[in-house]
Chain A
Amino acid sequence: MELLMDFFANTGFALADYRNFIMLGIGAVFIYLGIAKHYEPLLLVPIGFGILVGNIPVFKGLGLGIYEENSVLHYLYFGVTQGIYPPLIFLGIGAMTDFSTLLARPVLMLLGAAAQTGIFLTFLGALALGFVPKEAASIGIIGGADGPTAIFLTAQLAKDLIGPIAVAAYSYMALVPVIQPPIMKLLTTRKERLIRMEEPRTVSKLEKMIFPIVALVLCCFIAPAAIPLLGMLCFGNLLKEAVVTERLAVAARTAIIDTVTILLGLTVGASTQADVFLTPKSVGIFVLGAASFCVATACGLLFAKFMNLFLRTKINPLLGAAGVSAVPDSARVVQIVGQQEDPTNFLLMHAMAPNISGVIGSAVAAGVLWSFMM
């Protein structure tokens, strides 16, 4: 009987407290949103399952938990804490991204820059709420709407916050179709939403091949700390455009990115153990993250309207919302909102330009913040 009692004392039922159940519920919601609602399923399902894995109460000392040295999860989590997974994801993103629309209409790149303003404004907000600068910078980067970038910067600056920041970043990325449309409608008039974009010019193969090299050299000369992310993004894109390296490009955009996404999602989810996740700080991070995302969207929209004051051929200001780097979700949202006003207006292709420049912009912003905090 004593043996049975000892066994029971080590089971999850005896070790669990209410926080574990809250987290298990959150994990289940993530899985539901991913599978039933199709909100970023490739991210939410691994993260949701990771939350389940990480929040099953275990007896400390058995080497099972993610924060226990020598546990399998701890080794897998090494790729997150050391900032290894995010650059590999950028490699895959580069290998699957077509920069044609950006090359055809480079002026749209400014929208990607404008949306990054949200990062720095949220950084100020986080400082004002009592976070130290390194934590504030990690929270601010959520506004970039780029999960890998947020994880990368947090791994460098505030390892303790990786769990909440990653979950917040990916949650908001998944909720792009819910968060962005009201802001877009609020800040634009119907007439503006009806603006049609000019057909982009044809971009040559040589241009596409030169672009990643120019982008890497230029951006990394300006912000050298962006090398891990931008370097891999541009390398992946060069593999894609060079044609002769098609095999490598295929590996980068399929096997590598899929493997890393599984490992990243699962371990980030598992890192949200109730005792380290359910804290007042996490609540602050979620509130600021949402604010950051909204501000970034608003900055992109308002800057597009500002550009229209000077442009001869007006651009549809909805494109500004795609300046956040949730690729391709925010571009899709632009298309949907645009088509609600005019079903024959196709904005998706045009929205990809600020969307991709947002990826570059958020990587540069992360590099800048990292170098400032060192």
Chain B
Amino acid sequence: MKGLEAIAFYNGWNISATGILIVFTALCTLSFIISQLHKVLMIIEKKDHYITKAKKLLSRRRRTRLRRKLQVGTGFYASARQFNLLIRSVNDPFSLPKLITLAKKIDIARPYATVSELLTADIIVPNEKGYFSWDQDAYKNILGKE
């Protein structure tokens, strides 16, 4: 048997087309992986740099998200800053009523509302025993640059 008849009889068209396809698939995939390999290796080599960058980006996003969530006026920042100073005079963890009482004594504006917003922003964090702690990092992240 010869000619096109032989090719068709032995399934030659399919074998050739599939063969070419497989060789191309193998080399194209390998080519793609190689082209990305050095980028992956660069990320692994400079992982500390990228982790720091990612953290910064995340905290910036978190701050933006919280600000949007808080929807506070400029008075909040002044009150929060006063609370930040006040917190140094109380023991950590502290009781929330005691903190509000102290805030009233020194005439911090809107103490209840401010404490509520500080709780929402996770700057004042409750512990399991019914007391609260002041998260200085969260404060700096959210209010530090105001």
Contacts and interface: CB of A to CB of B under 8 A. Distances in A.
Given A106-B34, A214-B34, A222-B22, A130 B6 contact: yes
Contact of A218 (B18, B19, B29): B29
B23 A365 contact: yes
A129 B12 CA distance: 12
Interface residues on A, range: 35 or more
Given A113-B27, A218-B33, A128 B16 contact: no
Interface residues on B, range: 20 to 34
B120 to A, nearest CB: 47
B15 to A, nearest CB: 5
B27 A110 contact: yes
A128 B7 CA distance: 6
Interface string A181-213: 000000000000000000001011011001100
Q: Which of B3, B16, B25 has the most CB of A within 10 A?
A: B16
Contacts of B136: none
A146 to B, nearest CB: 13
B35 interface: yes
Q: Which of B4, B15, B37 has the most CB of A within 10 A?
A: B15
Contacts of A106: 30-32, 34-35
Contacts of A210: 37, 41
Interface string A153-173: 000000000000000000000
Contact of A117 (B2, B4, B20, B28): B20
B1 interface: yes
Contacts of B23: 113, 116, 361, 364-365, 368
A124 B29 CA distance: 26
8 contacts: A119-B19, A124-B16, A127-B10, A207-B37, A214-B37, A218-B29, A218-B30, A372-B15
Of all A-B residue pairs in the complex, the 9 with the closest CB atoms, nearest first, are A113-B27, A120-B16, A109-B31, A106-B34, A106-B31, A106-B35, A222-B26, A130-B2, A127-B12
Interface of B: 1-4, 6-7, 10, 12-13, 15-20, 22-35, 37-38, 41
Given A102-B34, A364-B23, 14 more contacts: A106-B30, A106-B31, A109-B30, A109-B31, A113-B23, A116-B23, A120-B16, A128-B6, A130-B2, A133-B15, A218-B30, A219-B30, A365-B23, A369-B15
